[in-house]
Amino acid sequence: MNFCLTNLEQPLTEELIKQTQKILTENTIKFSKGYEPGEYTDTQMAAGDTVFGDYKVNIARITVFFAETAIGRMQKEMDQKKNLTQNFNMSFKPRKKE
């Protein structure tokens, strides 16, 4: 948690996620041979009843995922020094019941 809190200025990147995952898992049980904390697995993974998709496809999608996220758009706006608050419409008044 300290790592994340001390790196708030870093953009959300694949490398940051891998570093965070490494810290969170480096002292846990290894579930598959060759699996290293902070690196992609090369085996089918599951958690409980959830079986995750093809690891090769998921790894290939990671860059697309980052390109399409709202965080990516926000980072672009931050890089362009835009006012991020213009994207939000907030109201603290309760809605009238119809």
Give pLDDT tens digits for 69-84.
766 677 777 777 655 5
| Residue in the structure block whose two tokens are 């809190």 | 5
Any domain includes 96: no
93 — pLDDT class (breaks 50, 70, 90) = low
Any domain includes 53: yes
Any domain includes 91: no
State pTM to two decimals. 0.48
The better pLDDT of the pair 12, 19 is held by 19
Range of the domain at 62: 2-84
- Residue environment code for 52-72, b if the CB has 16+ CB neighbours within 10 A, otherwise e: eeeeeeeeeeeeeebeeeeee
Any domain includes 72: yes
Any domain includes 90: no
Helix H segments across 6-69?
14-25, 55-68
Any domain includes 80: yes
| Contact status, residue 44 vs residue 59, Cβ threshold 8 Å | no
Cα separation, 13 vs 67, whole angstroms: 10
The torsion angles phi and psi of 38, rounded to 5 degrees, stand at 85, 5
